[in-house]
């Protein structure tokens, strides 16, 4: 029922899950690194199914921590487009192999990062995040990336950073977004064979690592500087994208 891993691989898995929890309540970019590390140990498709229940554990903790800080009008504009992206991603998962999926997501992340850096130079008054078509595109890409590789975190992070949300607003909006969309993904993941009884056993066994990471993130978030927060998120996104492309 559990994956056959050696000690070093288990260390990588548990560190990845600690970072998943930390990303939900602290630095969101850490979740991107977690996905890349997890994929070092398990095939991309298998790791996607194993991670989803654990991501939901972190999402619940994040919502309990930051539920009052969400930007609901922005979320409601995103949800229909994200749902469409999830459906498109489910179709792609059925037809592409692991290598193709990793390169596709890596390319998307690098492109989004480049657009974000260009957008930041325009200043907050001219931010692309103010335009509805940009929100639609961000939603579609996030839905597609989360269904194919649980990699919507960087896309949403860059979109919300461009929107100029404060740290707590960023975390609260992200928390509700990912709880909703990860729950929406569950039936698709079950139908595709990504979530099985074995993945649920794995999730029950390793969930404490996610909870420990979430507790650590909650402890440090009040001391995080916004400039540092943005730089770390961008750096981790680029590193993860490059890892997916290699």
Global pTM value: 0.79
Q: What is the pLDDT of residues 63-74, one digit of tens each?
A: 998 988 888 988
Angle of helix 167-191 relative to helix 72-95, nearest 10 degrees, comes to: 30
Name the nearest CA neighbour of 244 among 3, 86, 37: 37
State the Cα–Cα distance between residues 168 and 171, nearest whole angstrom: 5
Query: How confident is the model at residue 56, as a pLDDT?
Result: 94
Written as six digits, the tokens of 13 are: 């898995």
Whether 206 and 12 have beta carbons less than 8 Å apart is answered as no
Give 245's contacts (C-beta < 8 A, 6+ positions apart): 102, 103, 106, 107, 110
pLDDT at 176 over 90: yes
Decide: residue 114, CB within 10 A, 0-12 exposed, 13-18 middle, 19+ buried: exposed
Name the nearest CA neighbour of 160 among 195, 193, 135, 185: 135
Whether 30 and 229 have beta carbons less than 8 Å apart is answered as no
How far out from the chain centre does Cα 83 lie? Answer: 15
Q: What ranges do the domains of the chain cover?
A: 7-245
Return the higher-pLDDT residue of 204 and 161: 204
What band does 189 get if pLDDT is binned at 50, 70 and 90?
Answer: confident
Q: What is the pLDDT of residues 89-148, one digit of tens each?
A: 888 878 877 777 778 767 877 877 777 677 667 665 555 556 677 778 888 988 888 887
Mean pLDDT lowest for which of 42-51, 90-99, 200-209, 215-224? 42-51
pLDDT at 212 over 90: yes
Q: What is the mean pLDDT of residues 165-191?
A: 88
């Amino acid at each position: 029922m559990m994956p056959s891993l050696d000690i070093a691989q288990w260390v990588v898995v548990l560190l990845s899950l600690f970072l998943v929890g930390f990303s939900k309540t602290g630095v969101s970019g850490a979740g991107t690194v977690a996905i890349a590390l997890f994929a070092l140990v398990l095939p991309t498709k298998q790791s996607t199914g194993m991670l989803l229940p654990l991501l939901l554990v972190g999402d619940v903790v994040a919502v309990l921590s930051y539920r009052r800080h969400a930007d609901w009008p922005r979320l409601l504009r995103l949800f229909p487009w994200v749902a469409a992206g999830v459906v498109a991603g489910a179709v792609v998962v059925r037809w592409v192999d692991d290598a193709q999926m990793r390169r596709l997501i890596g390319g998307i992340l690098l492109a989004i990062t480049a657009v974000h850096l260009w957008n930041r130079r325009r200043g907050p008054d001219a931010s692309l995040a103010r335009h509805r078509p940009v929100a639609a595109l961000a939603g579609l890409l996030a839905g597609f990336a989360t269904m194919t590789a649980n990699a919507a975190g960087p896309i949403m992070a860059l979109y919300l950073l461009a929107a100029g949300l404060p740290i707590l607003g960023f975390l609260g909006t992200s928390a509700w977004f990912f709880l909703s969309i990860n729950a929406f993904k569950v039936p698709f993941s079950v139908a595709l064979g990504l979530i099985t009884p074995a993945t649920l056993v794995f999730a029950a066994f390793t969930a404490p690592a996610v909870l420990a990471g979430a507790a650590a993130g909650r402890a440090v978030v009040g001391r995080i500087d916004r400039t540092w927060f943005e730089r770390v998120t961008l750096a981790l996104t680029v590193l993860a994208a490059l890892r997916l492309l290699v």
